[in-house]
C-alpha cells in the first residue's frame, strides 16, 4: 500500500487544530460576551464581601440655627460570618458582655447576611470589653445615631427615624432623600481559603442639613401653654399654629399629646400624628368670617346694614335652626362680634350658595395648602352640586365643612395681610455640597395669590377687631395687654359616631386671630378638642391665644400700639369680664335643649356655634358695687342709642328700627358695666355706625 502524502497529513492536522481553536474561541467569546455578568457576579459572591456603612444624616435647625436633630457617632458591634469557625463559642463569650442570651446571638450569627449586626448603641465600656476579647470575625465600629436634643419639642414636625436611620415622620420623612446622604461601602476580597487579601472603602456622603422656619423659643411657648390648657380642660387633644401672615412661614406648630422623638416606639401612632395638618374638624363660627367676606365681595351687605335675627330661630328649607341666644336686630358688624347664627345664615341666604361656595374656594377650603409636611388632609367641602337645600344654612355657620388647623390659619392670614394667600411652609432652606453649608433654597419661596380685595380684607380686619373690643364680643378673653388684636372664636359640636348626629356634650373649641391689628406680625390658631366643662371657643381657647400671643409679641420685640395696663389692674378687668361673660344658666339650658332636639330628625341640625359664653350679654346684675346709671334713651335713633350705651360700657340690644320707644332696664337704674340694655324702636330709620361702634368693625 502506498504511503499517504505528508501534505495531506499536515492538512488534516491543520484542519483539526483549526476546528479545535474555533471551538475554544467560540466558547471563550460566548462566556465573555454573553455570560460575563453571570460569572462576574458568581465570582464576586465567592471572593468579595460588601458591607454598607450608614451615612451621617444632615442636621435639622430652627430658623436661628439651634439644633433640633443631629447625628452623633456611637459604637456598634457586627460580625464577619466567613471568619467565624465556632458560632456557639463566640455567642457564649459575647453574651456575658452584652448581657444577651447566647441563643439570640447565635441566631444572628447564623443569618445568611455576611455582616450581621449584633448590638447597637454600645457604651464605651462595653465596646472596650468586646475589643478586649479579640474574637476573630467580631468587630466594633462607629455609626451615626440620630439624637433629638430637645426631645419632644416639635416632635410631630421634625419626625423620627427607625433603627436603619430612615425617616419615618415629619421633615425626617418628607426630606429623607436629601437628609439621609449616600451610604459608603467596604469591599473585602478573599482567597479560596476565605482569607482576606485585599480591602477597599468608599466613604459615605453625609446628607444635606435643613433649616426650618419655626423658632425654638416660640415653639416652646406654644407647647408650654397648650400643655397647661390640656391640664386645665382635660381635653382629648389640641393644636396651636403660629404663622407669619406676610410670608406664610410657620413660626410654631404645637400638638398635644406629644412624644419623645428619641423613643418613638414607646408611643402610639395616634400620638405621633401631626394634628395641625392631618386632623380635620368643623370650624364652627370661625367660618363666619368667610360668610361675611363673600357677602361683602358680592355687594349684598355692608358692616352697617341691619339684620333681624328673629329672636334666635330661623327655618331653612324646612329645618328649624336655633341660635345660641335670642338676638333681635343687629348690625352686620354685631352679627360677627356677637356670633349670631341666625344673622350669619340670613346674610348667606342674601348672598347665595354659589357666591359662598366660590369665596370659600378662593380661601382654599377643601383644598390642600401644599405645606411641606407629610400627611396633609384636604378637609371636606362638597361640590356645590352636592349641596342640599339646607346646606347653605349649615355651611354659613361652619358646619357640613371641615378644615385643618393649617388651613384655618392660612385663610385668616390672608385677611391679616390684605387679601393674599401664601402657601404655608416650614422649610426655610436646604443645605447642599459636602460641607453641608446652609444655603437658600429657591424652590421654597412660597407661592401667593389674591383671595379677596384689599379693601374687603381691611373691613374684615376691623370687624374681627370688634370681636375682641365690642362689649358683647365673643373674643374679649383674648384681648391683649399692650397690643391690639383681632380674631374670631368658634365652638362646633362633634358628630357622635354611634348616632351619626351632633353630640350634646362633645365640642371642638377654637380661637383664631392676629396681632397687632394695623400691622400684623403673627396669625395664630388655638384648637382644643373635647374639653371637659366649659366648651365655648372664647372662654376656653381665647385665654390660651392671649397668653401665647403676649409672650410671642414680647419675644419678637413688637412695639406696643396701645397702653400697657399694670398687671394687677389687668387681672381685675379680666376677672370682671369673665363674670359678665358667663352665660345665664336658663339660656344655656335652652340652647342645649334646642341643639339636642332639632326639629328635623332626618339630618344633623346645625348646632349653636356661638362662641364662648363670653359672647352672651349678661342680664342685669345688682350684686356688688354698681357701675353706671342707665341713661334715658327714649326718642333717640339707633345710632344715638348705640353711642350712648357704648360710652358707658353698656351692651345695646336693638329691636326694630326707627326711634327708641321703650327700654329695659329703665332710665336711672344702677347696673354693672357690660349689662344688656334692650331698646325697642318704633318706625323705620337708617343706622350709620360711628366708627363701626368703636369695635364691632
| 42 located within any domain | no
Q: Are the CB atoms for 553 and 521 separated by under 8 Å?
A: yes
Looking at the structure, tell me whether residues 99 and 82 fall in a common domain: yes
Q: Which residues lie below 8 Å from residue 57, measured CB to CB, with a gap of 6+? A: 69, 71, 144, 146, 161, 165, 179, 180, 181, 206, 207
Of 178-187, 246-255, 601-610, 664-673, the poorest mean pLDDT is in 601-610
Looking at the structure, tell me whether residues 623 and 640 fall in a common domain: yes
What is the reported pLDDT for 589?
A: 39
Main-chain dihedrals φ then ψ at residue 343, nearest 5 degrees: -60, -45
432-441: Cβ within 8 A, 24+ apart: 432/208, 434/205, 434/206, 436/58, 436/59, 436/206, 436/207, 436/208, 436/209, 438/61, 438/65, 438/209, 438/211
Looking at the structure, tell me whether residues 405 and 388 fall in a common domain: yes
Q: Is the pLDDT of residue 602 over 60?
A: no
What is the reported pLDDT for 657?
A: 63
Confidence category of residue 247, pLDDT binned at 50, 70, 90: very high
In terms of pLDDT, which residue wins out, 115 or 373? Answer: 373
Q: What is the mean pLDDT of residues 167-179?
A: 91
Q: Which residues lie below 8 Å from residue 126, measured CB to CB, with a gap of 6+? A: 75, 97, 98, 119
Of 18-27, 42-51, 90-99, the poorest mean pLDDT is in 42-51
Looking at the structure, tell me whether residues 591 and 641 fall in a common domain: no
Report the mean per-residue pLDDT for the chain: 81
What is the reported pLDDT for 432?
A: 54
What is the reported pLDDT for 205?
A: 83
Of 39-48, 216-225, 636-645, the poorest mean pLDDT is in 39-48
Looking at the structure, tell me whether residues 506 and 647 fall in a common domain: no
Cell of 548: 401665647
In terms of pLDDT, which residue wins out, 677 or 692? Answer: 677
Number of domains present in the structure of the chain: 3
Of 44-53, 554-563, 682-691, the poorest mean pLDDT is in 682-691
| 685 located within any domain | yes
Of 6-20, 353-367, 548-562, 590-604, the poorest mean pLDDT is in 590-604
Looking at the structure, tell me whether residues 230 and 316 fall in a common domain: yes
Of 145-149, 315-319, 499-503, the poorest mean pLDDT is in 499-503
Residue 563 belongs to domain with CATH number? 3.40.710.10
Looking at the structure, tell me whether residues 174 and 223 fall in a common domain: no
Share of the chain above pLDDT 70, in %: 81
Q: Is the pLDDT of residue 253 over 80?
A: yes
Q: Is the pLDDT of residue 130 over 90?
A: no
What is the reported pLDDT for 495?
A: 84
* Beta bridge partners of residue 308, listed in sequence order: 329
The domain boundary residue, chosen from 212, 233, 262? 212
What is the reported pLDDT for 145?
A: 85
What is the reported pLDDT for 438?
A: 45
Looking at the structure, tell me whether residues 550 and 645 fall in a common domain: no
What is the reported pLDDT for 192?
A: 54
The domain boundary residue, chosen from 179, 197, 212? 212
| 135 located within any domain | yes
| 248 located within any domain | yes
Cell of 497: 359616631
Residue 628 belongs to domain with CATH number? 3.30.10.20
Of 92-106, 382-396, 510-524, 545-559, the poorest mean pLDDT is in 92-106
The domain of 338 spans 219-618
Nearest Cα to 171, choosing from 250, 113, 53, 94? 250
Of 184-193, 481-490, 581-590, the poorest mean pLDDT is in 581-590
Looking at the structure, tell me whether residues 483 and 529 fall in a common domain: yes
Give the pTM: 0.74
Q: What is the mean pLDDT of residues 114-142?
A: 81
| 384 located within any domain | yes
Looking at the structure, tell me whether residues 226 and 243 fall in a common domain: yes
Looking at the structure, tell me whether residues 300 and 199 fall in a common domain: no
The domain boundary residue, chosen from 618, 643, 678? 618
In terms of pLDDT, which residue wins out, 596 or 380? Answer: 380
| 14 located within any domain | no
Residue 132 belongs to domain with CATH number? 3.90.1310.10
Q: Is the pLDDT of residue 129 over 80?
A: yes
Question: Sign (positive/negative) of CA torsion 406, 407, 410, 412?
Answer: negative
Q: Are the CB atoms for 536 and 491 separated by under 8 Å?
A: yes
Looking at the structure, tell me whether residues 179 and 114 fall in a common domain: yes
Amino acid at each position: 500500500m502506498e504511503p499517504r502524502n505528508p501534505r495531506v497529513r499536515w492538512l488534516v492536522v491543520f484542519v483539526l487544530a483549526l476546528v479545535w481553536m474555533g471551538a475554544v474561541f467560540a466558547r471563550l467569546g460566548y462566556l465573555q460576551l454573553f455570560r460575563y455578568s453571570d460569572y462576574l457576579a458568581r465570582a464576586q459572591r465567592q471572593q468579595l464581601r460588601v458591607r454598607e456603612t450608614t451615612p451621617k444624616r444632615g442636621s435639622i435647625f430652627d430658623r436661628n440655627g439651634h439644633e433640633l436633630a443631629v447625628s452623633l457617632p456611637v459604637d456598634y458591634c457586627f460580625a464577619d460570618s466567613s471568619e467565624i469557625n465556632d458560632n456557639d463559642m463566640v455567642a457564649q463569650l459575647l453574651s456575658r458582655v452584652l448581657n444577651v442570651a447566647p441563643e439570640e446571638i447565635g441566631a444572628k450569627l447564623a443569618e445568611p447576611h455576611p455582616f450581621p449586626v449584633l448590638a447597637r448603641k454600645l457604651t464605651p465600656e462595653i465596646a472596650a470589653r468586646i475589643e478586649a476579647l479579640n474574637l476573630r470575625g467580631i468587630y466594633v465600629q462607629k455609626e451615626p445615631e440620630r439624637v433629638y436634643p430637645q426631645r419632644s419639642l416639635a416632635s410631630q414636625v421634625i419626625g423620627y427615624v427607625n433603627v436603619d436611620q430612615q425617616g419615618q415622620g415629619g421633615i425626617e420623612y418628607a426630606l429623607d432623600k436629601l437628609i439621609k446622604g449616600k451610604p459608603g461601602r467596604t469591599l473585602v476580597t478573599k482567597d479560596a481559603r476565605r482569607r482576606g487579601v485585599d480591602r477597599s472603602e468608599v466613604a459615605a456622603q453625609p446628607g444635606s442639613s435643613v433649616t426650618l422656619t419655626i423658632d425654638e423659643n416660640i415653639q416652646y411657648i406654644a407647647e408650654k401653654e397648650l400643655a397647661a390648657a390640656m391640664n386645665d380642660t382635660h381635653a382629648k387633644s389640641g393644636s396651636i399654629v403660629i404663622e407669619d401672615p406676610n410670608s406664610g412661614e410657620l413660626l410654631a406648630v404645637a400638638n398635644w399629646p406629644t412624644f419623645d422623638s428619641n423613643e418613638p416606639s414607646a408611643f402610639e401612632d395616634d400620638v405621633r400624628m401631626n394634628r395641625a395638618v392631618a386632623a380635620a374638624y368643623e370650624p364652627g363660627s370661625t367660618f363666619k368670617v368667610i360668610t361675611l367676606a363673600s357677602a361683602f365681595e358680592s355687594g349684598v351687605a355692608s358692616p352697617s346694614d341691619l339684620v333681624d335675627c328673629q329672636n334666635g330661630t330661623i327655618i331653612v328649607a324646612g329645618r328649624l335652626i336655633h341660635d345660641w341666644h335670642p338676638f333681635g336686630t343687629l348690625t352686620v358688624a354685631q352679627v360677627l362680634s356677637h356670633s349670631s347664627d341666625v344673622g350669619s345664615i340670613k346674610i348667606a341666604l342674601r348672598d347665595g350658595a354659589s357666591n359662598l361656595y366660590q369665596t370659600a374656594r378662593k380661601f382654599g377650603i377643601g383644598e390642600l395648602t401644599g405645606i411641606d409636611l407629610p400627611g396633609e388632609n384636604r378637609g371636606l367641602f362638597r361640590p356645590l352640586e352636592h349641596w342640599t337645600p339646607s346646606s347653605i344654612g349649615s355651611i354659613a355657620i361652619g358646619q357640613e365643612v371641615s378644615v385643618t388647623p393649617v388651613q384655618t390659619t392660612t385663610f385668616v392670614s390672608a385677611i391679616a395681610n390684605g387679601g393674599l394667600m401664601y402657601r404655608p411652609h416650614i422649610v426655610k432652606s436646604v443645605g447642599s455640597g459636602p460641607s453641608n453649608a446652609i444655603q437658600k433654597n429657591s424652590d421654597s419661596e412660597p407661592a401667593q395669590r389674591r383671595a379677596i380685595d384689599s379693601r374687603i380684607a381691611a373691613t374684615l380686619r376691623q370687624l374681627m377687631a370688634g370681636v375682641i373690643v365690642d362689649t358683647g364680643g365673643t373674643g374679649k378673653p383674648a384681648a391683649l395687654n399692650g397690643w391690639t388684636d383681632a380674631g374670631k372664636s368658634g365652638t362646633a359640636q362633634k358628630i357622635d359616631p354611634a348616632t351619626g348626629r351632633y353630640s350634646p356634650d362633645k365640642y371642638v373649641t377654637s380661637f383664631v386671630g392676629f396681632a397687632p391689628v394695623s400691622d400684623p406680625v403673627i396669625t395664630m390658631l388655638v384648637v382644643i378638642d373635647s374639653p371637659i366643662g366649659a366648651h365655648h371657643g372664647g372662654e376656653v381657647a381665647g385665654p390660651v391665644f392671649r397668653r401665647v400671643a403676649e409672650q410671642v409679641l414680647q419675644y419678637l420685640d413688637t412695639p406696643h400700639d396701645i397702653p400697657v395696663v399694670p398687671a394687677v389692674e389687668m387681672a381685675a378687668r379680666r376677672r370682671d369680664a369673665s363674670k359678665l361673660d358667663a352665660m345665664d344658666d336658663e339660656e344655656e339650658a335652652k340652647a342645649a335643649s334646642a341643639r339636642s332636639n332639632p326639629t328635623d330628625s332626618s339630618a344633623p341640625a346645625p348646632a349653636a356655634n356661638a362662641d364662648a359664653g363670653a359672647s352672651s350679654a349678661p342680664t342685669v346684675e345688682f350684686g356688688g358695687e354698681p357701675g353706671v346709671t342707665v341713661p334715658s334713651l327714649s326718642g333717640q335713633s339707633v345710632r344715638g342709642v348705640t353711642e350712648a350705651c357704648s360710652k358707658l360700657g353698656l351692651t345695646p340690644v336693638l329691636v326694630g328700627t326707627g326711634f327708641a320707644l321703650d327700654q329695659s332696664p329703665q332710665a336711672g337704674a344702677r347696673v354693672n358695666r357690660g349689662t344688656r340694655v334692650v331698646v325697642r324702636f318704633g318706625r323705620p330709620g337708617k343706622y350709620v355706625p360711628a366708627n363701626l361702634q368703636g369695635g364691632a368693625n
